[in-house]
């Protein structure tokens, strides 16, 4: 009986996720783009993002983040995409370019057939999720431009109905933490603190010496023992923390399920969730999931994950890597109605090369331009 009920819930949730997908191929393609002879042309270029501050999370410090920018040209239009490659994810500019060289879009007659094209791209090799996202985002941008609408409208979302974005404060000295906190005041309504080390309480106290803004914390798997984690969470709640991301190692799901059951704060999966197939296993383990385009191969799968998680009664947040406004603008299309957002990636860099979604009163708001809503702000030398 229990098994049947579980299967029913699963199939209902899957159906809900599928039904919620926008159906574009029926009638959405304007005639002028149906000439049947145009071919999609994919090109790319590596690019290094310069971080405004050295960024430390549990285990790593860095000053730059490598990305690969992509472009798909078709019938006089251009769609832009991005793969962001922080070192802990295992992809590099070289591995992304190697992957992109294998992508042959010439067999596809219509860029709007996103599901079909992305099924092919996903099948080229396992993993490579950021490389796949770079194709997915460029395709969405292109398809949106062909249709003449931004994706938030095609998803049926109100682009203003979004949660405040967190602004991330990395693990650092008290002085630097206070300086970064002061930088955020007036611009952000919630801060995100990287914890998971011996200095967690010191970090929180340093921020609290400057502001009483709500805080999200991300332990990046850093707490190793569940009772220690629970004690810390109760202490954090007293300090005005409102959510906890990935408190313990990603495979320790039994401990995390116990922690979620005992915790006075919602617990979100980040490292424990990558793609759509992970979502249903995490019901009852975490309160919610952190969806990132670079983990899940892009917008087509992020949209399904969002709908499945919500159908399962889970909370959802939209996250990001350090990315240009290209990747952030793509994420900004589909996060209306979510519970939390961590979309400060483009605000942490000094050499953004796209104009797109912008910080407005603490929220990242998508533009009204079609597709993912971006324009390059300088010449980008795409090639193959």
- Residues at the contact surface with Mg ion, assessed by CB under 5 A: 218, 245, 270
Q: How far is CA 252 from CA 127, 214, 271, 282, in A?
A: 22, 28, 11, 11
Distance in Å, CB of 290 to Mg ion, minimum:
6
Question: How buried is 69 (Cβ within 10 angstroms: 0-12 exposed, 13-18 middle, 19+ buried)?
Answer: buried
Q: List % helix, strand, coil for the chain (3-state, nearest 5).
A: 40, 25, 40
Q: Which residue's Cβ has the minimum distance to Mg ion?
A: 270
Distance in Å, CB of 194 to Mg ion, minimum:
8
For residue 144, which phi and psi values (nearest 5 degrees)? Answer: -65, -40
Within 10 angstroms of residue 15's Cβ, the number of other Cβ atoms is 11
The helix (run of H) or strand (run of E) holding residue 275 is none
Are 223 and 259 spatial neighbours (Cβ–Cβ below 8 Å)?
no
Distance in Å, CB of 192 to Mg ion, minimum:
9
Closest to Mg ion by CB, 110 vs 218, is 218
Closest to Mg ion by CB, 141 vs 245, is 245
CA 21 to chain centre: 18
Within 10 angstroms of residue 3's Cβ, the number of other Cβ atoms is 7
Closest to Mg ion by CB, 263 vs 367, is 263
Cα–Cα distance between 194 and 170 in angstroms, integer? 5
Distance in Å, CB of 277 to Mg ion, minimum:
20
Distance in Å, CB of 274 to Mg ion, minimum:
12
Closest to Mg ion by CB, 270 vs 344, is 270
Closest to Mg ion by CB, 168 vs 307, is 168
Distance in Å, CB of 268 to Mg ion, minimum:
8
Closest to Mg ion by CB, 100 vs 309, is 309
Distance in Å, CB of 337 to Mg ion, minimum:
21
Closest to Mg ion by CB, 172 vs 270, is 270
DSSP-assigned letters across all residues of 198-255: TTHHHHHHHHHTT----EEEE-TT----HHHHHHHHHHHHHTTEEEEE--S-TT-HHH
Q: How far is CA 186 from CA 49, 162, 181, 217, 361, in A?
A: 25, 18, 10, 20, 8
Cα–Cα distance between 98 and 101 in angstroms, integer? 5
Closest to Mg ion by CB, 139 vs 244, is 244
Distance in Å, CB of 245 to Mg ion, minimum:
5
């Amino acid at each position: 009986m229990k098994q049947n009920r579980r299967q029913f819930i699963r199939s209902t949730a899957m159906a809900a996720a599928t039904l919620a997908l926008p159906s574009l191929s029926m009638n959405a393609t304007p005639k002028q783009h149906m000439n049947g002879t145009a071919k999609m042309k994919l090109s790319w270029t590596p690019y290094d993002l310069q971080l405004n501050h050295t960024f430390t999370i549990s285990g790593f410090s860095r000053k730059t983040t490598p990305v690969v920018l992509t472009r798909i040209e078709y019938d006089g239009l251009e769609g832009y995409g991005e793969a962001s490659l922080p070192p802990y994810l295992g992809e590099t500019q070289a591995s992304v370019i190697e992957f992109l060289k294998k992508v042959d879009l010439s067999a596809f007659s219509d860029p709007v057939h996103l599901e079909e094209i992305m099924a092919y791209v996903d099948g080229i090799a396992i993993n490579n999720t950021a490389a796949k996202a770079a194709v997915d985002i460029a395709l969405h941008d292109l398809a949106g431009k062909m249709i003449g609408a931004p994706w938030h409208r095609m998803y049926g979302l109100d682009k203003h109905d979004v949660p405040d974005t967190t602004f991330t404060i990395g693990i650092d000295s008290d002085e630097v933490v206070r300086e970064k906190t002061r930088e955020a005041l007036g611009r952000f309504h919630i801060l995100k603190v990287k914890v998971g080390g011996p200095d967690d309480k010191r970090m929180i106290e340093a921020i609290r010496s400057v502001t009483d803004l709500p805080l999200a914390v991300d332990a990046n798997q850093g707490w190793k023992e569940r009772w220690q984690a629970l004690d810390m969470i109760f202490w954090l709640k007293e300090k005005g923390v409102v959510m906890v991301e990935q408190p313990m190692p990603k495979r320790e799901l039994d401990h995390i399920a116990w922690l979620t059951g005992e915790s006075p704060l919602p617990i979100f999966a980040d490292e424990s969730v990558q793609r759509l197939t992970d979502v249903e296993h995490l019901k009852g383990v975490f309160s919610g999931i952190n969806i990132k385009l670079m983990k899940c191969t892009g917008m087509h799968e992020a949209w399904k994950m969002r709908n499945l998680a919500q159908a399962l009664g889970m909370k959802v947040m939209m996250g990001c890597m350090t990315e240009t406004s290209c990747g952030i603008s793509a994420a900004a299309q589909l996060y209306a109605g979510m519970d939390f957002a961590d979309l400060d990636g483009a605000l942490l860099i000094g050499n953004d090369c796209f104009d797109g979604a912008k910080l407005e009163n603490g929220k990242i708001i998508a533009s009204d331009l079609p597709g993912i809503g971006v324009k390059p702000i300088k010449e980008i030398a795409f090639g193959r």
